[in-house]
Structure formats: structure tokens, C-alpha cells
Amino acid sequence: NFWNACYDAMMSSAQRREQEKAASRKMFQELVLEPAAKRSKAENTRHANVLKQLNNHHSTVLKQWRSLCRLLTSPRSAWADRNPPEVRWKLSSAETYSRMRMKLVPNLNFDQHLEASALRDNLGADHLHNPTESL
């Protein structure tokens, strides 16, 4: 029958076209998408490493500048501050054999925790910036 032959030919050509599309899609994925994804992943990893190195370098340089500033503005230096800020102290992390910490060292990162105190006392964090008359 002619119509059955036409239908079979149409179905076989449609099936062949779908197979060719699938093969083409697979080749495109292998030749274009996968290498692009690999390169993208490698570039993202490289970029993250560069950012980490830059951040580490920045923090190291900042520590060195702070150390140099402390050295040049220490109490007996040439650029000593006439009214130095109050030095805060903390226990050293070095311990004796009996786990006693015997030494005080300057606390260079002292924080009075004023915001936490204001929040604890229900004054709000903005109380520090806008101190109104107290009760």
C-alpha cells in the first residue's frame, strides 16, 4: 500500500533525523560545552586564588605598616605622641608548664564593646552616635 510506505518512510526519516540531532548535540557538548565549562571552572579557581593571595598580601602589608607606625610613634621615638592613648593590657598566650600565663602584653586591638553595652542596657546601638540627655 502506497500510504503505508509513505508513513513508514516518514517515520524512518523522522527517527533518523532525531538520531542525527542527538549525535550532533552530543558532539557539540563534547567539543564546545565541556571544554568551555572546564576552562570556566579553571578560571574561577584561578581568580579565587588570586583574590585570596591579594587579600593575604594586603593584610600582611597592613600589619607591617601598623608595626612600623608603632615603632616610629613609640614613647621614646622621634615622632612620639605627646598625649599617648592609654595602653590596654592583656594576658600573653605563652604558658608555663603548669599552664600559668605569667606575662602581660599590650592589647593592640582593644575594644570597649560600647555597642554591646548599649544594646544590653536597651539604649540601642544608635545611642552611641546620638547621645541624648540621660534619665
Percent of the chain with pLDDT over 70: 92
107 Cα distance to chain centroid:
26
Q: Which pLDDT band, with edges at 50, 70 and 90, does 121 fall under? A: confident
CB atoms within 10 A of CB 103: 12
pTM (two decimals): 0.50
Residue ranges of the domains in the chain? 1-83, 86-135
Percent of the chain with pLDDT over 90: 57
Write the CB contacts of 39 (distance below 8 Å, at least 6 apart in sequence). Answer: none
Say what the pLDDT of residue 5 is.
Answer: 92
Say what the pLDDT of residue 18 is.
Answer: 95
pLDDT digit string, tens, across residues 59-72? 999 999 999 998 99
